[in-house]
Structure 1
Amino acid sequence: MTTWELDPSDGELLLTTGVTGPAAKMGHRLTIAVQWRATVQWDGDRPVSVEMTVDVGSLEVLGGEGGVTGLSGPEKALARANALKTLQAKRFPQIVFRTSSIEPADHGYLLHGTLDLHGRSRDRVLEVEVEDLGEQWQMACRASVSHADHGLKPYSMMMGAMKVADEVAVSFTARHPK
């Protein structure tokens, strides 16, 4: 059995929010980075388990698209504070994905597992694409997570005229030496 330990030095995990409501054009679509760690267990040349943990308190607003003006430093800090409040980061400091099974797919693997977020567990199937770069493996995954599925109320302002969209896009990329 071989174990891979991955963290932000191997890649990145980014969240991208949308904006909805009548005043959506005023809001920023945020790009957010988080600190994470993952453990991949291998049996021979096949992965048999994956566990990824995200540190909610590490959330960092990298930037924002749209809005009336560019996203300033104080606005990034406010967006971070609002996200931490929405996620109840002190009560739920981690987000965890654990596989129950892994099966080969056309360009990588299908990870069947459970996403634990905000005290609620939801079954998920994630497709991880794997590419052979010679001396390294490159992994990539894209998914979306619904606030509603995990009992979260998206941040809103102006009496709901502008709010964070329910679906948050998640993208993961990492490289690991062979």
Structure 2
Amino acid sequence: MATIELGPGDGRLLVRTGRSGLGRRAGHDLVIEAARWSGTVTLAGDDLAGAAAEGSSVRITVPVDGLEVREGTGGVLPLSDQDRAEITANLRKVLQADRFPEITFRSTGIRGTAAEFTVEGELTVMGRTEPLSVRAAGGDRVTGEATVKQTRWGIKPYSAFFGALKLADDVRVTFDLDVRPG
């Protein structure tokens, strides 16, 4: 059995948003990075080849106040530092960071091969836990993604201009991690 501790030095966890509504051209598609996070991968075997074996697990914790806006594409005007600060403040308000300071993912099963696998698990956001499937591939570096439908976790997607500009309900969580033991 091998345990791998992970954090920001091992790779990136990103949240990618899109826009909807009549005013979508005015807003930005965002890339939000988990600048602070921690994770543990426990392998049933001694290496990644045994990752899909029974007994392997993944746990990730992201502090809500560790989420930072990195990029904004599209929109009428470029994303400014003031925009980033306002979006970050809004994000923390929407996710109720004062009441629910962490987002967690805990695996319930892993299936596939070391080259391509699916991690079934439970994502907890704002105190609400729902199942989530994460698709991943790799070896020493693991990349993958999952689609999170905000309303499923009780999150009302941000809107402005009386609903003409809305954040799309589906956000895409992506990751690129170095998971070599030691």
**Coarse TM-score class (shorter-chain normalised):** over 0.9
CA distance in 2, matches of 1:90, 1:53: 16
CA distance in 1, matches of 2:122, 2:16: 21
Match of 1:156 among 159, 170, 179: 159
C-alpha displacement of 1:16? 1.0
- Asked if structure 1 preserves the Cα contact closer than 8 Å seen for 2:115 and 2:137, the reply is yes
* TM-score (norm. length: structure 2): 0.90
Pair 1:97 & 2:105 matched = yes
Alignment of 1:48-63 (within 5 A): 48-63=56-71
CA distance in 1, matches of 2:39, 2:78: 34
Match of 1:118 among 120, 123, 126: 126
Q: Aligned with 2:100: secondary structure? A: coil
Match of 2:169 among 163, 166, 169: 166
Structure 2 letter corresponding to 1:82: N
Cα RMSD, aligned residues only: 1.3
C-alpha displacement of 1:2? 1.4
* 1:141 counterpart residue number: 144
* 1:74 counterpart residue number: 82
Q: Between Structure 1 and Structure 2, how many residues are aligned?
A: 173
* TM-score (norm. length: structure 1): 0.92
Q: Aligned with 2:110: secondary structure? A: strand
- Asked if structure 1 preserves the Cα contact closer than 8 Å seen for 2:132 and 2:146, the reply is no
Deviation string 1:60-118 (CA, Å, 9 cap, x unpaired) is 11120011110010011001111111111111111111111112248332211111111
Structure 2 residues without counterparts, runs of 5 or longer:
none
CA distance in 2, matches of 1:168, 1:96: 16
Q: Aligned with 1:177: secondary structure? A: coil
Greater strand fraction, Structure 1 or Structure 2: 1
Greater CA deviation, 4-13 or 154-163? 154-163
Structure 1 residues without counterparts, runs of 5 or longer:
132-136
Structure 2 letter corresponding to 1:125: S
Moved over 4 A (4+): none
* Identical amino acids, percent of aligned pairs: 39
